[in-house]
Amino acid sequence: MTCNALLTLRTSNSTRTVLDMLLPEFEKASGHQVELIPDTAKNSLARIEAGERADVAVLLGKNIDKLAHLQILAPESRQPFCRSNIGMAVLKGANKPDISTVEAFKRTLLACQTVAHTEFGPSGAYFPGLMERLGIAQQIRPKEVTRPGGYIGVVVAAGEAQLCFQQICELLAVPGIDVIGPIPDELQFDFDTQAAIFAESKQLAAARELLAHFARPEHAATFRQAGLIQLPLARQVSDLRAAGAAPMLQAR
């Protein structure tokens, strides 16, 4: 099939895997091609604010809203994409400690030798405040192994830390580690991602087709496979509430 349009899509590491899974079907069905431009969440936002552009962005909701307010993204094009939660992982084959309750999570952190997290990624930025909230910041600080951004699981895979803390979708993308599970609900944080079209895009029709493809309900299983929850459009939310499925969408 002849390529109708070449779309560029900027995204962060947390949604790279699911986009790699969603895009081939779109390209085959539409005839369009999509060039993915992944980076850390911080770098993606900074590059766009510095003047780099694309046709579509899939980023944290707060960053999409900021760029829409600046008229870099078309405000009316914004739509929900997915929700991501935080988990922990260990070296592949290692014993998985208990993090199922708040007390078990604290005991595991206090007992571990080292714990890795990013400095500037969304989950990494959440980690220090969470340790303060739990009252164990002073004990944990000397154990921390940090990187500016990226997939922190590579630090555990390389044997440089015993545990790592990041969004589950990013942990699943790293070979050589085992995901323990999510952190307790009481401590969990929902990272909601949106998709939107750049105001300067010359491929508006194709970009709208891509966003419609993302929103198809049958893709929910693909999102789950990537460690994410697909977020329905507003009209689909109404249908879910009518069907009694609203709790899936409620923030913790």
Span 106-126, pLDDT tens digits: 999 999 999 999 998 899 999
> In percent, how much of the chain has pLDDT > 90?
90
Tell whether the model's pLDDT for residue 249 goes beyond 70: no
Cα 103 to Cα 97: distance, rounded to the nearest angstrom: 12
For residue 252, what pLDDT is reported? 30
All residues at 6 or more sequence positions from 141 whose CB lies less than 8 Å from its CB, including other chains:
131
Q: What is the mean pLDDT of residues 140-159?
A: 97
Cα 104 to Cα 208: distance, rounded to the nearest angstrom: 46
Cα 187 to Cα 158: distance, rounded to the nearest angstrom: 28
Phi, psi of 69 (to 5 degrees): -60, -35
Cα 187 to Cα 61: distance, rounded to the nearest angstrom: 20
Tallying the residues shown for the chain, one arrives at 252
Q: What is the mean pLDDT of residues 71-89?
A: 98
Question: pTM of this prediction?
Answer: 0.84
Span 173-224, pLDDT tens digits: 999 999 999 999 999 999 999 999 999 999 999 999 999 999 999 999 999 9
* DSSP letter (8 states) at residue 79: E
* DSSP letter (8 states) at residue 3: -
Tell whether the model's pLDDT for residue 245 goes beyond 60: no
| Res. 77 pLDDT band, cuts 50 70 90 | very high
Tell whether the model's pLDDT for residue 247 goes beyond 60: no
For residue 4, what pLDDT is reported? 87
Q: What is the mean pLDDT of residues 58-85?
A: 98
Average pLDDT, the chain: 92
For residue 204, what pLDDT is reported? 97
- 115: which strand partners? 144, 163
Cα 92 to Cα 98: distance, rounded to the nearest angstrom: 16
| Res. 31 pLDDT band, cuts 50 70 90 | very high
Cα 183 to Cα 249: distance, rounded to the nearest angstrom: 18
| Res. 90 pLDDT band, cuts 50 70 90 | very high
All residues at 6 or more sequence positions from 138 whose CB lies less than 8 Å from its CB, including other chains:
none
| Res. 34 pLDDT band, cuts 50 70 90 | very high
Span 36-66, pLDDT tens digits: 999 999 999 999 999 999 999 999 999 999 9
Q: What is the mean pLDDT of residues 221-232?
A: 97
| Res. 234 pLDDT band, cuts 50 70 90 | low
- 71: which strand partners? none
Helices 204-214 and 13-30, packing angle to 10 deg? 110
Copy the structure tokens of residue 103: 């007390």
CB 44 within 8 Å of CB 199: no
What are the respective helix, strand and coil percentages of the chain, to the nearest 5? 45, 25, 30
